[in-house]
Amino acid sequence: MKKFFPDVILVILLIVLTLYAWRLLPQTILRTDAFLFMFENIQKQYWSQQYALTAIQVGKALLAPILAKLFGPTISLYLWFELGVILLIDVLFYLLVRTVTRSRILAFSASLIASVNYFGTWDTYGTHCYCFFLERVINVPFMIISFLFLHLFLTTGKNIQYGLSLILYVVGIGLGHVELLLTPAFALYPFWWFVFKSNNRNLRRGIFIGASFLLLSTAIVAAQQLSYGGWGPKWTLPEFLLNPQKYNYVRAMALQLVFWSDYAPLVSYFSTSAAFVRFSAQLAIKSLPYVFLLYPIVFLILFTRLPKFRALLVTCLTAVTIIFFLNAYVKLPEIIIADSNRYLYFPTFFLSIFWAIALWYFFLQHKGLRLYLGIILLVIYYFASVTLLENIMRRTFVWNRPTKALYSYIVEKRNSLSPNTLVVVKSPEFAGQEGSFFTQVIGRNEVTYTTDSTVYHDWKEQVPKYDHVIRLRFDKACSCVIETRIK
C-alpha cells in the first residue's frame, strides 16, 4: 500500500485542481439539443430503425433516458454528472500515463495539462453545442482503458489483455464514432513499440496488431453507412490528399497546432475576459514560425536524450499529425477557429504527454532552481487555463440568465398549476426542446410546456384544447419572470 500512497496523493490533488477549474460548470445550464435524446418519441424513433446499433448516436440514445429518470428537472445534477465523467477521464488518463511512463510526475503533469486546457476542452465539455451534452466524452473512458490494455499486452504478451483492448475499443468507438479519430494512436503505437522498445524487433507483429484496430475502425465506418449513409465531406480522401493547394489542408493542420499551443500571448491578459478578443487567425499565422521552430527542436532533444520514451513520443507526433489531417478532411471550414475547438480535444491528450515529458526533462527531474522553475511554469499554465475557463463560463451566465430564471420558475410553480394547462414560454430563451423536456419530466400528462416560436408549430392553434393557458417571459427591467394568464 505504501508503494501507491504517492499516487493516491497526486490523484487527490489532480481531482481537487480539476474540480476548482471546472467548479462553475454545474452552474451553467442545458439548452435545446442537449435534451434531445431524453424524449420518449425520439427514443422510439431511434430504436425503431433497422440498424440502430450501427448509428453514431448509440451512446447518447442509451444514456439520455437514464439520466432523465434519475435527475428529472434538476439541471445542475446533469452537469455534476458530467463533471464526474471529466474527473473519471482525468484519473484514468493519469493511470495510463503512469503505467506507460512509470513516472508519477509525468502522469500528474500530463493529466493536469489535459484536464484544464481551455483550447482543447471547453468546446467539448461546455454545454453550448447542438448535441447531447455528453455525447463526445462519455465513451472516452473506454478508449483510455483500451489503450492501457494495449500497452500491457505489448509489455507482457498476454493475449487476454489484447482481447480486452479490442473489446473496449469496439465499445468506445461503437457508442459514439467520434472516437474514430483516435484510430491512428492505436494503429501506430504497436508498430513504434516494436521499432524502439522491444528487444525482438518483430515489425510484422507490430503492423498486425495495429492493423487489427484499423480494420475494426474501418468495419465500424462501413456499418455506419447502413443507418447513416451519405454522411461525410463532399470530397473524397484521394482528391483531398492530392490537392493540397486547393484544400489548403497543410495550413489547416498547422493552425490547429498553433491554436492549441498559443498560450504565450495570453499570459499577460489572462486576468480579464479581454483575452478572448485577442484570439484570431491572424495572430495564429504570425505565431506559426515560432511554434514550428519550437516543436521540432523540443522533439529532437527529447527523442535523442530519452530513448525509453521514443515509442511514446513518435506515437504522439504521428497520431496528432494524422488527427489534424483527418480534422481538416472531415470539417475543413469549422476547424479554422481561433478559440476552443472540439476538434482539438483528442490531440490534447497526446500534446499533454509531449509537454509533460518536456517539462520533466528540462525542469522537474532536476533539483534546486530548475525544479522550482518547472513548478512555476506548470502553476502559471494552470491558473491561465483556469481563468480562461472561468471567463467563458461567467459569460455564459450572462447569456443564459433569462433561461435559467425561466427554468427555476417553471419547476417552482409546477404544483400550483391545474390539470390541462398549457404554459407558453417566450423564445429564444426557451425553445421547443426545452418545452418537450419539461412536459415529459414534470408535466405528468397534466401540464404542457411549449415555446412561442412558430418554427415547428403555432402554439395558438393548441389553445382551444386546454382549460388554462399561461404565458411566461423574462423581464430584464426587474430581472424576473412575468406570468400572464390568457385563459
Instruction: Look up residue 361 and give its DSSP letter.
Output: I
In the block, cell 489547416 appears at 252
Phi, psi angles (nearest 5°) of residue 443: -65, -35
Least trusted range by pLDDT, from 31-40, 158-167, 303-312, 469-478: 31-40
Q: What is the mean pLDDT of residues 161-165?
A: 98
- Split at pLDDT 50, 70, 90, the class of 53 is confident
State the pLDDT at residue 267.
Answer: 45
- Name the residue ranges covered by the structural domains of the chain: 2-397, 406-485
**Three-state DSSP state, 437:** helix
Q: What is the mean pLDDT of the chain?
A: 89
**Three-state DSSP state, 473:** strand
Least trusted range by pLDDT, from 176-180, 342-346, 376-380: 176-180
Question: For residue range 301-350, what is the model confidence (pLDDT) as tens digits?
Answer: 999 999 999 999 999 999 999 999 999 888 766 666 667 788 899 999 99
> Any long-range contacts for 96-105 (C-beta under 8 Å, 24+ apart)?
96/144, 96/147, 96/148, 96/151, 97/353, 97/356, 98/7, 99/148, 99/151, 99/152, 100/151, 100/312, 101/309, 101/312, 101/357, 103/360, 104/6, 104/7, 104/10, 105/360, 105/364, 105/365
Residue 244 corresponds to which cell in the numbers above? 493540397
Distance between CA 61 and CA 52 in Å, rounded? Answer: 10
Distance between CA 371 and CA 253 in Å, rounded? Answer: 34
Distance between CA 404 and CA 424 in Å, rounded? Answer: 16
Question: For residue range 250-295, what is the model confidence (pLDDT) as tens digits?
Answer: 888 888 898 888 654 454 444 454 445 456 667 777 778 888 899 9
Model pTM score = 0.93
Q: What is the mean pLDDT of residues 25-49?
A: 88
State the pLDDT at residue 338.
Answer: 67
Phi, psi angles (nearest 5°) of residue 440: -75, -45
Distance between CA 466 and CA 447 in Å, rounded? Answer: 9
Torsion of CA 93, 99, 100, 103, to 10 degrees: 90
Q: What is the mean pLDDT of residues 379-399?
A: 90
Bridge-partner residues for 425, per DSSP?
Answer: 451, 472
Q: Is 10 in contact with 107 (CB distance < 8 Å)? A: yes
State the pLDDT at residue 261.
Answer: 85
Least trusted range by pLDDT, from 6-20, 233-247, 273-287, 334-348: 273-287
Classify residue 368 as exposed, middle or buried by CB count within 10 Å of its CB (0-12, 13-18, 19+).
exposed
- The residue among 198 and 218 whose pLDDT is bigger is 218
Q: What is the mean pLDDT of residues 72-81?
A: 96
- Split at pLDDT 50, 70, 90, the class of 198 is low
Q: What is the mean pLDDT of residues 154-160?
A: 96
- The residue among 469 and 223 whose pLDDT is bigger is 469
Phi, psi angles (nearest 5°) of residue 306: -125, 75
- The residue among 59 and 439 whose pLDDT is bigger is 439
Torsion of CA 18, 22, 26, 32, to 10 degrees: -120
Question: Of the spans 20-29, 201-210, 267-276, which averages the highest pLDDT?
Answer: 20-29
Q: How far is CA 416 from CA 306, 413, 443, in A?
A: 68, 5, 12
State the pLDDT at residue 136.
Answer: 81
- The residue among 273 and 408 whose pLDDT is bigger is 408
State the pLDDT at residue 268.
Answer: 42
> Rounded to 5 degrees, what angle do the CA atoms 151, 153, 158 make?
165
State the pLDDT at residue 104.
Answer: 97
- Split at pLDDT 50, 70, 90, the class of 456 is confident
